[in-house]
Amino acid sequence: MIHIKGVSVKLPSFLLDQIDLRIHLGEFFTLLGPTGSGKTLLLESIIGLLPITNGSIWIDGRNVTAWAPEKRAIGIVYQDQALFPHLSVKKNITYGLRYLKRRGLTTTDLDRLIEQLSIGHLLDRGVENLSGGEKQRVALARALAIRPNVLLLDEPLSALDPEFREDIRELLKALHAETRLTVLMVTHDFAEAHFLAQRAAILRNGRIEQIGSVHELFNHPANFFVARFVGMKNIFNAQIDGTHARVGNLSIQINSNGGSPSNHIAIRPEDIRVFPNQARPENDVNCFDGRIERIINHGHHLDLQIAVDNIDFRATITSGQFMRSNLQIDNRVNIAFHPNSIHPF
Amino acid sequence: MKTQRFPDLFLCVAFCCSAVIVMFIMAPLLQMIMQPSMADLAETAQDRDVVRAIRMSILTSAAAALISFVFGTPLAYLLARKQFIGKRLVESVIDLPIMIPHPIVGIAILSLTGRNNAFGAALWSLGVRAMGTVTGIVIVLTFVGLPFYINTVKSSFEAIPQRLEKVSRSLGASAGGTFFRITFPLAWRGMVVGMIMCMARAISEFGAVVIVAYHPMTAPVMIYERFTAYGLKYAQPVAVWLIAVCLLLFLLLRLFSGSARSRS
């Protein structure tokens, strides 16, 4: 378990401000945020590599704030793996056992870990010529070999080719399911958080914007920044009155938000359905007529920018849908979205 | 269709400038090397004073490089890894010996190690003398060679990703353990290069040495003495031998550091 109590880190050009975070025992927690938001800084504070200005850090119920990094038994895997280039794969993996022999894995457990990570054939090789995926597996084995109290992952997937990324993602999930280790992973990719984590926090400019379950963050963003970060491309100022939101001249039906004060609504682009040739859905709640202003091709999907009464909506459709409907700029279309897909905040 | 290829004017100018520079360095050296006859060179090689002076130059500059290694490495590490108030000042102080005219270095060291001040008096009471001693020569050569060692090794430390050290700490190694198991093995080649740079600078030192210790004679002082006493013809063979020995020594060190790296 990691408990971060009011931690601040003051650097000449950056402030990590009053971070409060509790990561439960055995939990896979993700820290999300754009580049430069202070995610890595927080990881390095937890591990003790960066002195904190205020607050305290507790690992498994012990206050480790004043402990040296080597006493904390926290494993870390960086995005660039940080393998020791002058040591073989085997020596990399067993590096920590010299210091943490009593708590580290036994030879049998280590062999099992190596087998599980499929790196047995690499043990005598140098690390320079390994593929990205292999390097990441070695880095994971090295961190796990000391049987850490918690494992910190600093964007472990972002530097990998897509083919390896999926592999390592699956591997992380399987390892966590087996070891039930407390894991804190930093990423800027919401899809990774969705796949791996139970809960997440969103960090921006050294401050936590929202903490909650991944589902909660995804569906109930607390503010404009979080909504934008979790991929809601349609965010509008709105006057909300019970089950209706007024955006410009549009009256949009929403589910009641329980009376909590909101002045924005957000809709995911994939939740907006597009009907060519002005066809209408069976249930025409929140169905509006618009004009395609822009088509952005992302390969396997496309984003359509559709103007409805001077309000721009962004809708995502698959390339198959796009080909079938033969949509073009300036076409008139109907868009529709269910009240369940509207997130007031 | 055949395309006409014109020589790039910029590259032509660059090549011409490079050729001039290489000639500028090589011409006087080649001229000097080719001047003495084989008989002169053979005779000089048997001259005990010459052998002693060259040996003195090599040993004292090697000692300076070794001292730089022992005391300069921690400083280079701190400069590469830590931010602290006055860091720029410390860096400027380290570069001072490069800028100060070297006779001034000699005078400064003589005055510090003389009996007229507390530090010098303490040294005298311990039996340490700088004036006219090997100790004095080593002090002077360390002084002029240190910046070359520290700056080279600092760059070498900076080239090692700090994350390697961070991971090592997370795996249970102390700061010292991390230095000796990670940083040192990755930076040692830089240290060898730094020692070569330091030694190269030290072996060529004349201005400061001649003030602190005319005797025991180092090779540059001997070359100067032969030149002023007997003329160019007697100075050249000593210079040729000094260049040859230094070239061989530095070549061996480079080869050693290169082959050791390819093994590691």
Which among A49, A85, A99 has the least Cβ separation from residue B171? A99
Q: Which two tokens stand for residue B197?
A: 């740079």
pLDDT the model gives residue A306: 96
CA distance B171 to chain A (A): 5
| Nearest alpha carbon to residue B196 among B159, B157, B153, B239 | B153
**Contact assessment for residue A301 and residue A281, using Cβ atoms and an 8 Å cutoff:** no
pLDDT the model gives residue B262: 54
The H or E element spanning position A253 is: strand A250-253
Q: What predicted TM-score, i.e. pTM, was given to this entire model?
A: 0.84
Residue for token pair 């698959």: A318
Digit-by-digit pLDDT tens for chain A (345 residues) are 999 999 999 998 899 999 999 999 999 999 999 989 999 999 999 999 999 999 999 999 999 999 999 999 999 999 999 999 999 999 999 999 998 777 778 889 999 999 999 999 999 999 999 999 999 999 999 999 999 999 999 999 888 888 788 888 999 999 999 999 999 999 988 888 999 999 999 999 999 999 999 999 988 889 999 999 988 999 999 998 888 899 999 999 998 766 677 889 999 999 999 998 778 887 778 999 999 999 999 988 999 999 999 999 999 999 998 988 889 999 999 999 999 999 888
- State which residue of chain A sits closest to B187, comparing Cα positions: A86
The H or E element spanning position B65 is: helix B48-67
CA distance A49 to chain B (A): 7
Using the Cβ of A95 and the Cβ atoms of chain B, whether some distance falls under 8 Å is answered with yes
**Contact assessment for residue A75 and residue A148, using Cβ atoms and an 8 Å cutoff:** yes
Using the Cβ of B186 and the Cβ atoms of chain A, whether some distance falls under 8 Å is answered with yes
Interface with chain B: mutation pick from A47, A59, A86, highest number of B CBs within 10 Å:
A86
What 3-state class would DSSP assign to A262? coil
The H or E element spanning position A306 is: strand A301-308
Q: What is the DSSP letter of A271?
A: G
Please list, in sequence order, all residues whose beta carbon lies within 8 angstroms of the beta carbon of residue A14, skipping any fewer than 6 positions away: A38, A41, A206
pLDDT the model gives residue A180: 92
Q: What is the DSSP letter of B72?
A: I
Q: What is the mean pLDDT of residues B154-158?
A: 96
- State which residue of chain A sits closest to B169, comparing Cα positions: A70
Euclidean distance between CA atoms B82 and B139, whole angstroms? 28
| Nearest alpha carbon to residue A193 among A149, A224, A153 | A153
**Contact assessment for residue A297 and residue A242, using Cβ atoms and an 8 Å cutoff:** no
- Sheet order of strands, A2-11 included: A14-23, A2-11, A54-59, A62-63
Q: What is the mean pLDDT of residues B23-41?
A: 92
Test B177 with A99 for CB contact under 8 angstroms.
Answer: yes
CA distance A213 to chain B (A): 29
Using the Cβ of A75 and the Cβ atoms of chain B, whether some distance falls under 8 Å is answered with yes
Residue for token pair 């960090």: A203
Neighbouring C-beta atoms of residue A225, cutoff 10 Å: 17
pLDDT greater than 50 at residue B174: yes
Residue for token pair 């005990």: B48
Test B182 with A96 for CB contact under 8 angstroms.
Answer: no
Q: Write phi, then psi, for B189 (nearest 5 degrees).
A: -65, -40
pLDDT greater than 90 at residue B1: no
pLDDT the model gives residue B247: 86
CA atoms within 13 A on the CB side of A57: 27
Neighbouring C-beta atoms of residue B69, cutoff 10 Å: 17
pLDDT tens digit sequence for B211-253: 999 999 999 999 999 999 999 989 999 999 999 988 888 888 7
Q: Which two tokens stand for residue A212?
A: 């909650």
pLDDT tens digit sequence for B178-213: 999 999 999 999 999 999 999 999 999 999 999 999
Test A47 with B166 for CB contact under 8 angstroms.
Answer: yes
Test B172 with A98 for CB contact under 8 angstroms.
Answer: yes
pLDDT the model gives residue B186: 96
pLDDT greater than 70 at residue B4: no
Going by pLDDT thresholds of 50, 70 and 90, the confidence category of residue B254 is confident
Give the least confident one: A160-164, A225-229, B24-28, B147-151.
Answer: A160-164
Test B163 with A86 for CB contact under 8 angstroms.
Answer: no
- Sheet order of strands, A244-247 included: A239-241, A244-247, A250-253
CA atoms within 13 A on the CB side of B249: 20
CA distance A214 to chain B (A): 29
Q: What is the mean pLDDT of residues B146-168?
A: 96
Q: What's the CA angle centered on B82, arms B80 and B86, to 5 degrees?
A: 100
- Composition of chain B by helix, strand, coil, percent to 5: 80, 0, 20
CA distance A136 to chain B (A): 14
The DSSP line for B134-196 is HHHHHHHHHHHHHHHHHHHHHHHHHTS-HHHHHHHHHTT--HHHHIIIIIHHHHHHHHHHHHH
**Contact assessment for residue B172 and residue A99, using Cβ atoms and an 8 Å cutoff:** yes
**Residue A135: what residue type?**
K
**Contact assessment for residue A227 and residue A221, using Cβ atoms and an 8 Å cutoff:** yes
Which among A48, A74, A84 has the least Cβ separation from residue B182? A84
Which among A78, A82, A100 has the least Cβ separation from residue B172? A100
pLDDT the model gives residue B264: 45
User: Distances in Å between the alpha carbon of B47 and those of B36, B41, B210?
Assistant: 15, 10, 21
Give the dihedral sign, CA B178/B183/B185/B191.
negative
The ipTM (two decimal places) reads 0.85
Q: Which residues of B193-214 are buried (b: 16+ CB within 10 A; e: fewer)?
A: bbbbbbbbbbbbbbbbbbbbbe
- State which residue of chain B sits closest to A151, comparing Cα positions: B170
Test B163 with A49 for CB contact under 8 angstroms.
Answer: no
CA distance B73 to chain A (A): 20
pLDDT the model gives residue A257: 65
Provide the chain A residues 218-237 that lie in CB contact (below 8 A) with chain B. Answer: none
Residue for token pair 């795996």: B171
pLDDT the model gives residue A196: 94
Test B161 with A82 for CB contact under 8 angstroms.
Answer: yes
Euclidean distance between CA atoms A108 and A95, whole angstroms? 17
Euclidean distance between CA atoms B140 and B106, whole angstroms? 7
Q: What's the CA angle centered on A321, arms A320 and A324, to 5 degrees?
A: 85
pLDDT tens digit sequence for B70-112: 999 999 999 999 999 999 999 999 999 999 999 999 999 999 9
**Contact assessment for residue B79 and residue B154, using Cβ atoms and an 8 Å cutoff:** yes
| Nearest alpha carbon to residue B221 among B42, B36, B57 | B57
Question: Partners of A29 in the beta sheet?
Answer: A184, A199
Beta strand pairing status for A250-253 and A264-267? unpaired
What 3-state class would DSSP assign to B113? helix
Give the least confident one: A130-139, A162-171, B114-123, B142-151.
Answer: A162-171
| Nearest alpha carbon to residue A20 among A47, A60, A71, A57 | A57
Test B172 with A70 for CB contact under 8 angstroms.
Answer: yes
Q: From chain B, pick out residues whose CB is under 8 angstroms from the CB of A73.
A: 172
**Contact assessment for residue A306 and residue A291, using Cβ atoms and an 8 Å cutoff:** yes
CA distance A320 to chain B (A): 45
What 3-state class would DSSP assign to A187? strand
Q: Which two tokens stand for residue B138?
A: 């080593």
Neighbouring C-beta atoms of residue A19, cutoff 10 Å: 26
Q: From chain A, pick out residues whose CB is under 8 angstroms from the CB of B161.
A: 80, 82
Using the Cβ of B169 and the Cβ atoms of chain A, whether some distance falls under 8 Å is answered with yes
Helix and strand counts by DSSP (H, E) for chain A: 10, 21
Question: Partners of A303 in the beta sheet?
Answer: A296, A316
Query: In A61-189, which ranges are continuous DSSP H helix?
Result: 69-72, 89-93, 107-116, 132-145, 162-179
